[in-house]
Structure 1
Amino acid sequence: MEGVGWIAAIIIGGFAGWLAGKLMEARYGILLNIVLGIVGSVIATAILAQFHIEVAGGRLGYFVTGFLGACLLIFVARLVRR
């Protein structure tokens, strides 16, 4: 995640996690939304790297990968809970 500072990562990750929670109809708090967005971004970036897909850098790329990764994490969490 080059080019995105810690504060920007928290803000963008929180927004990506919040948006993923709204889309997936998950009811999590703001802290978990931030964690979902940041961790989701790391996971989505790693998965995309395995397929040799590079996401554009900067805030928009971080937001997109955070959103996709957070949706993936919510989906997997629902599978595990059932």
Structure 2
Amino acid sequence: MFAVSSFVTSIIMAIIIGGIAGWAAGQIMKSNGSLVRNIILGIVGAFVGNLVLGLIGIHGSGFLGSIIVSTIGACIVIYLGRVLSK
């Protein structure tokens, strides 16, 4: 039962952090979108941000660190989307 509760908590936290990071990246990059788009963007941004920042030795920890890394990653994803759509 504990493992299921921990998994559910992790999913909920990923959605919350993704939503905040996606919204922040949308504001920074002047890219408006729906709540679902922002959540997806933030979650994908978390993976991208951890990969890119990890390569240069920067790691975010805790709630705030996760939001910062996810926001940076989401900004990268928005930028790449703009470049590839041209």
- Is the TM-score greater than 0.5? yes
Q: Which has the higher contact order (CA 8 A, sep 6+)?
A: 1
1:22 matched to 2:24:
no
* Runs (5+) with no aligned partner, structure 2: 1-8
* Runs (5+) with no aligned partner, structure 1: none
Higher helix share: 2
Q: TM-score by structure 2 length? A: 0.82
Identical counterparts, % of pairs: 38
Q: What does residue 3 of structure 2 align with?
A: none
Give the C-alpha shift of residue 42 in structure 1: 1.0
- Number of residues of Structure 1 aligned to a counterpart in Structure 2: 78
Q: TM-score by structure 1 length? A: 0.85
User: How do residues 1-82 of structure 1 correspond to structure 2 at under 5 angstroms?
Assistant: 5-55=10-60, 57-82=61-86
- Large movers: runs of 4+ above 3 Å: none
